[in-house]
Amino acid sequence: MVMRSGARQGQRSRMFRSSALLTKWSLLTVLIVTGQFSQLAWSGDKSAAQWVDEMSRAFKDRNYHGKFMYWSGKQINTLEILHKVKDGEEFERIRRLSGKQVDVIRADHPLFCLHPADHFARLEDGGAFAAKFREGKSGFVKSYTLSVGILGKVAGRPAQQIIVTAQDRLRYDYELWLDQESAFLLKSALLGPDGAPLEVFEFVDLQLGIELADSLFELATHTQASPAGHAGHGHDRSKAASDWHVTWAPQGFTLASRDVQNDSEGLSPMDVMMYADGLATYTVFVEGVSVGQALAETVSQEGATIAFSQPMVQSDAYWVTVVGELPLDTIKRIASSVSKKH
């Protein structure tokens, strides 16, 4: 992928992954479930919407300890999660069990990344489990249709399938597998146009309703702590108004955050705008470039995430990049709608 510089390319990729992770917690879903029934599931009197609302409460209201797998493109990561509720406050810890050592602690809202001294390893994809489903159906009901599917088994537990179907072809469908007893989200998949999974989360081991010691959520004295999403970036967040706006977005997407960012290497300021529909997200990056610089459209994809870049000339030359969990045609249309404010 041709970028203005290797440093800027890496920064853009890391910023997207970090911001998307901390605001949404990428997804979960269906892989191959052993013993899956072929008949429609018996779900009592519960509708799909009721299942999803119960799921959001199950993530926030109980203690649990589990290990889960995240697969996207060629990447497979294994992570451990501990979650505790004490006096109405949530405590959460995520450890990466494969690849670079990363340890993330969340006490109610603040996030901290723990890492060996003199080394910062970012928790990228798969770090936080199913955050985009934590708010129940309210966040995405306008853009997706929910339906009850079949029965299966995930992590040794009976599971109910919930199908989340996009109401247009501008975004992807999802499949969820919920614990039949507690509605806890056990598995999730983001599905491509052909129905094959592009991104999968799956618990492989899970203990619900267990006692967890407070010490499991404390910072160790031998580690170095940094606020998650800020440490190691080398950029400043600015409250200055952006010079850019996106004139078209798929129905249901709204602006979730906007930043004007600079980095320590002296590259030009970069406008960053992130949009979400309650499930899917995309981020728009706009930066200035030299008029004589050779630029061409570029596309790259990893799992469900597509990055599309194109040059734009509006009095000066600019470089527009859109990164998101959407089909390529949608991503390109968003990029073409970026315009400078007059």
Mean pLDDT of 81-92: 91
Pair 196, 77 in one domain: yes
Pair 334, 263 in one domain: yes
- Residue 275 in this model has a pLDDT that exceeds 70: yes
Residue ending a domain, choose from 174, 192, 227? 227
Q: Is 266 or 79 the better-scoring residue by pLDDT?
A: 79
Q: How far apart, in Å, do the first and last CA atoms of the chain sit?
A: 31
Residue 82 located in a structural domain: yes
Pair 38, 184 in one domain: yes
Pair 185, 157 in one domain: yes
The pLDDT confidence band at residue 139, using thresholds 50, 70 and 90, is low
pLDDT for 108: 66
Mean pLDDT of 245-271: 84
Number of H helices, E strands in the chain: 3, 20
Residue 12 located in a structural domain: no
What CATH number did the domain enclosing 221 receive? 2.50.20.10
- Residue 101 in this model has a pLDDT that exceeds 70: yes
Mean pLDDT of the chain: 77
pLDDT for 39: 35
The pLDDT confidence band at residue 291, using thresholds 50, 70 and 90, is low
- Long-range Cβ contact pairs of 256-264 (< 8 A, separation 24 or more): 256/23, 256/281, 257/19, 257/23, 261/15, 261/235, 261/236, 261/237, 262/235, 262/236, 262/238, 263/7, 263/8, 263/11, 263/233, 263/234, 263/235, 264/234, 264/235
Mean pLDDT of 242-248: 88
Pair 212, 315 in one domain: no
Residue 310 located in a structural domain: yes
Residue 257 located in a structural domain: yes
Pair 195, 261 in one domain: no
Residues spanned by the domain of 199: 25-227
105-120 tens-digit pLDDT: 887 655 555 544 333 3
Residue 53 located in a structural domain: yes
Looking at the chain, the whole-number percentage of residues with pLDDT higher than 90 is 46
Pair 211, 246 in one domain: no
Q: Is 134 or 228 the better-scoring residue by pLDDT?
A: 134
Residue ending a domain, choose from 186, 207, 227? 227
Contact predicate 113/123, CB 8 Å:
yes
Residue 320 located in a structural domain: yes
Mean pLDDT of 26-45: 36
Pair 79, 217 in one domain: yes
- Residue 69 in this model has a pLDDT that exceeds 50: yes
What CATH number did the domain enclosing 263 receive? 3.30.200.100
For residue 165, what are the CA distances in angstroms to 249, 275, 277?
19, 20, 13
User: What's the whole-model pTM score?
Assistant: 0.77
Listing DSSP states for 70-94 in one string gives: EEETTEEEEEEEEEEEETTEEEEEE
- Residue 134 in this model has a pLDDT that exceeds 70: no
Residue ending a domain, choose from 196, 227, 258? 227
Pair 103, 151 in one domain: yes
184-207 tens-digit pLDDT: 999 999 999 999 999 999 999 999
Pair 123, 48 in one domain: yes
* DSSP symbol at 261: E
Pair 126, 222 in one domain: yes
Split into its structural domains, the chain has a count of: 2
Residue 8 located in a structural domain: no
Residue 13 located in a structural domain: no
pLDDT for 82: 94
Q: Which residues contact 277 (CB under 8 A, 6 or more apart)?
A: 139, 140, 143, 171, 250, 252, 253, 254
Sequence letter at residue 24? K
